[in-house]
Amino acid sequence: MSLRNAILALLRIGPMSGYDLQKQFSQSVGHVWHAPDSQIYPELRKMADQGLLTAEEQARGASGMRKVYHVTEAGEREFLEWMNAPLKYQRTRDAAHLRAAYLEAADPEAIEEFLNGHIRHWQVELETVEEEICKIDTLTSPMLNRRLEVTEDEDREATIAFKRYSYEGLAARARGEIRWAREGLALIRQLGIADGVEDADPQ
């Protein structure tokens, strides 16, 4: 049900087409909520049918078309209701920690590759999140700036602070995962599993 709320959150910043939304979901917002285009377009239509959005049809060139979606009052209500309601936590489904618990069954090289892969994965995540934070701090984030344009002066500080706060949380998580994987590398060395041997025996 949160794809809907993510869409509402974005459209509240300003009207957008499905394509614009899609880009957001594969960039900035994608860090907290991912959605592919095949999910976005049908959801937009459903939300419009339910009166949460209205579609403003725009011509594009000779025969091109573009639907720009606006949040209706009902949509605004639905979003605020969600924001003020207790959050439902999904049950964890964490393949990395599942695998980690049974790592003794894997080959030594696979163990090391798994841990290095974990580090790589979260390092990419960390870098992009840190870039977003930088954009927030330097006020060069397009979406945030667009939002700030229609925000009362006294609410700007909070708007910026919460966005930064959210991304700082993501960065902290990424750092935690990297730390954990590094501890894993230390552990396999300690257990004598690592093939650090190959370096220690040249010739």
Partner DNA sequence: CCTCCCATGTAAACTGTTACATGATTTT
Partner DNA sequence: AAAATCATGTAACAGTTTACATGGGAGG
Binding stretches for DNA (CB under 7 A): 1-3, 17-20, 22-23, 34-39, 41-42, 44-45, 60-67, 88, 90-91, 93
Structure token digits, residue 83: 């924001």
Binding site for a copy of itself (CB under 8 A): 2, 5-6, 9, 12, 29-34, 79-80, 83-107, 110, 113-114, 117-118, 121, 155, 157-159, 161-163, 165-170, 172-173, 176-177, 179-180, 183-184, 187, 191, 193
Binder of residue 130, out of DNA, a copy of itself, none (CB less than 5 to 8 A by kind): none
Binder of residue 41, out of DNA, a copy of itself, none (CB less than 5 to 8 A by kind): DNA
Nearer to DNA among residue 68 and residue 185 (C-beta): 68
Q: Which residues contact 141 (CB under 8 A, 6 or more apart)?
A: 28, 132, 135, 163
Structure token digits, residue 144: 């945030």
Nearer to DNA among residue 17 and residue 141 (C-beta): 17
Binder of residue 180, out of a copy of itself, DNA, none (CB less than 5 to 8 A by kind): a copy of itself
C-alpha separations of 39 from 44, 66, 147 in Å: 9, 18, 25
- Check: CB of residue 126 under 8 Å from CB of residue 175: yes
Query: How far is Cα 54 from Cα 49, in angstroms, rounded to an integer?
Result: 9
Q: Which residues contact 22 (CB under 8 A, 6 or more apart)?
A: 35, 36, 37, 40
How far is C-alpha 67 from the chain's CA centre?
Answer: 25
CB of residue 47 vs a copy of itself: minimum separation in angstroms?
17
Nearer to a copy of itself among residue 94 and residue 149 (C-beta): 94
CB of residue 201 vs a copy of itself: minimum separation in angstroms?
21
Type and span of the H or E element at 65: strand 64-71
